[in-house]
Structure 1
Amino acid sequence: MHDEAIQIRQPTGDTETLRAFIRPVSTAFADDYTDEMFQMDRQLWEVDRLIGAVDGETWVGAAGALSMRLTVPGGEVRAAGLTDVGVAPSHRRRGILTRMMRWLLDQATERAEPVAILYASDGAIYPNFGFGMGTLRGTFEIDRHAFRFARPAEPLGRVRLVDVDEGMRLIPALFERLRTERVGEVSRHPDRWRLQLLADDGRMRPGLGMKSNAVLEVDGQLRGYAIYRVKSEWDERGAKNTLTVLELSGLDPAAERALWEWLAGIDLVAKIQAWRTSVPSPLFLQMATPRRLGLTIADGMWIRLIDLQAALEARTYAAGGTVTLEVTDAFCPANEGRWTLDVASDRGMASVSAATTAVEADVALDTTDLATVYLGTFSFADLARAGRLAELRPGGVAAADLLFRTAEAPHSATMV
Structure 2
Amino acid sequence: MTMRQPELTVRPLRAEEWEPWYGTVDVAFGGTPEPPEERALWRELTEVERSLAICEGDRIVGGGGIFSLRLAVPGGAVLPVAGVTMVGVLPTHRRRGALTALMRRQLDDVRAAGEAVAALTASEPAIYGRFGYGAATRKAAVSLLRGRVRVRVPEQRGEVVLRLADPVAELPRCEELYARLVARRPGGLARRPGWEQVAVLDAPESRGGFSPLQCVLAEDAASGELLGYARYAVKGEFDERGAAGTVRVRTVQAEQPWVYARLWEFLLDLDLTVRVEAASLPVDDPLLHLVSDVRHLTPRLVDALYVRLVDLPAALVARSYAAPVDVVLEVTDAFCPWNAGRWRLTAAPGGPVSCVRTGDPAELDLDVRELGSVYLGGGSLVALAAAGLVREVRPGALEPAAAAFRSALEPWLPHGF
Q: TM-score range by the shorter chain?
A: over 0.9
Which residue is 2:318 aligned to? 314
Which residue of 1 is the match for residue 303 of structure 2? 299
1:41-52 equivalences in 2 (<5 Å): 41-52=42-53
Pairwise CA distance, 1:197: 1.4
1:97 aligns with 2:99: yes
Contact kept? 1:318, 1:348, Cα under 8 Å: no
| SS of alignment partner, residue 106 of structure 1 | helix
| TM, length-normalised to structure 2 | 0.92
**Matching residue of 1:107:** 109
- Alpha-carbon contact 1:157-1:216 (below 8 Å) kept: yes
Q: Which residue of 2 aligns with 1:183?
A: 186
The CA deviation at 1:332 is 0.7
SS at match of 1:325: strand
Deviation, structure 1 residue 157 = 0.8
| Closer, same or farther: CA 347–297 of 1 in aligned 2, 3 Å | same
Structure 1 window deviating more from structure 2 (228-237 vs 385-394): it is 228-237
Q: Deviations over 1:142-200 (max 9, x none)?
A: 22222423678669512222224432220111111100222111122231213x31242
After superposition, the Cα gap between the structure-2 partners of 1:197 and 1:346, relative to the gap in structure 1 and judged at 3 Å, is closer
**222-231 or 170-179, which deviates more:** 222-231
Native 8 Å contact 1:156 1:258 kept in 2: no
Worse-matched range after superposition: 273-282 or 201-210: 201-210
Q: Distance in 1 between matches of 2:6 and 2:327?
A: 44
Find the aligned partners of 2:161 and 2:92 in 1 and give their Cα distance. 54
* 2:395 matched residue in structure 1: 394
CA distance in structure 2 between the aligned counterparts of 1:13 and 1:201, rounded to whole angstroms = 25
What amino acid sits opposite 2:365 in the alignment? A
**Where do 1:223-234 residues align within 5 Å?**
223-234=227-238
Unaligned segments of structure 2, at least 5 residues: none
Paired residues of 1:156 and 1:255 also in contact (CA < 8 A): no
Q: Secondary structure at the match of 2:204?
A: coil
Amino acid at match of 1:13: A
1:92-146, CA deviations, whole angstroms, 9 ceiling, x for partnerless residues? 1111111112222222112211111111111111111111111110001122222
Question: 1:255 maps to which residue?
Answer: 259
Which residue type is aligned with residue 400 of structure 1?
A: A
1:214 aligned to 2:239? no
Q: Which amino acid in 1 is paired with 2:113?
A: R
Q: String of CA shifts for 1:317-351, please: whole Å, max 9, x gaps.
A: 223341110001111111000000122x4733211
User: Per-residue deviation at 1:380?
Assistant: 1.5
Partner of 2:361: 360
CA distance in 2 between partners of 1:128 and 1:340 (Å): 25
| Superposed CA offset, 1:324-383 (max 9, x none) | 10001111111000000122x473321110112xx1111100111111111111121111
Q: In 1, distance between residues paired with 2:189 and 2:105?
A: 22
Q: Is the 8 A contact 1:72 1:183 kept in 2?
A: yes
SS in 1 for 2:194: helix
Post-superposition CA distance 1:275-316 (Å, at most 9, x none): 210112322222222112110111121111111010001011
CA RMSD of aligned residues (A): 2.1
Letter of the 2:181 counterpart: L
1:160 partner amino acid: R
Q: Is the 8 A contact 2:167 2:231 kept in 1?
A: no
- Look up the SS of the partner of 1:146 in the other structure: coil
CA distance 1:376–1:152, change in 2 (3 Å): closer
Give the corresponding residue for 1:119.
Answer: 121
Partner of 1:376: 377
SS at match of 1:68: strand
Give the SS at the match of 1:322. Answer: strand
Q: Are the equivalent residues in 2 in contact too, given 1:167–1:198 (CA < 8 A)?
A: no
C-alpha change, 1:340 and 1:381, in structure 2 (3 Å) is same
Aligned residue for 1:285? 289
Deviates more, 1:230-239 or 1:387-396: 230-239
Report the AA paired with residue 22 of structure 2. I
- Structure 1 position 229, deviation (Å): 2.0
Counterpart of 2:70 in structure 1 is: 69
SS at match of 1:372: helix
Which segment drifts farther, 284-293 or 17-26?
284-293
Output the CA distance in 2 between the equivalents of 1:20 and 1:66. 19
Residue 173 of structure 2 corresponds to which residue in structure 1?
A: 170
Match of 1:393, SS state, is: coil
Match of 2:342 among 309, 334, 338: 338
In the other structure, the counterpart of 2:408 is 407
After superposition, give the CA deviation of every residue in 1:220-259 in whole Å (9 maximum; x if it has no partner).
2211121222223344654322211111111022121111
| Stretches of structure 1 lacking an aligned partner (at least 5 in a row) | none
Distance 1:209 1:138 in 2: 23
Question: Any idea what SS the aligned residue of 2:181 has?
Answer: helix
8 Å contact from structure 2 (residues 137, 413) kept in 1: yes
TM-score with structure 1 length normalisation?
A: 0.92
Find the aligned partners of 1:394 and 1:86 in 2 and give their Cα distance.
44
Given that residues 152 and 261 in structure 2 are in contact (C-alpha distance below 8 angstroms), is that contact kept between their aligned partners in structure 1?
no
Q: What amino acid is aligned across from residue 9 of structure 2 in structure 1?
A: Q
Distance 1:403 1:153, change over 3 A: closer
State the SS of the aligned residue for 1:21: helix
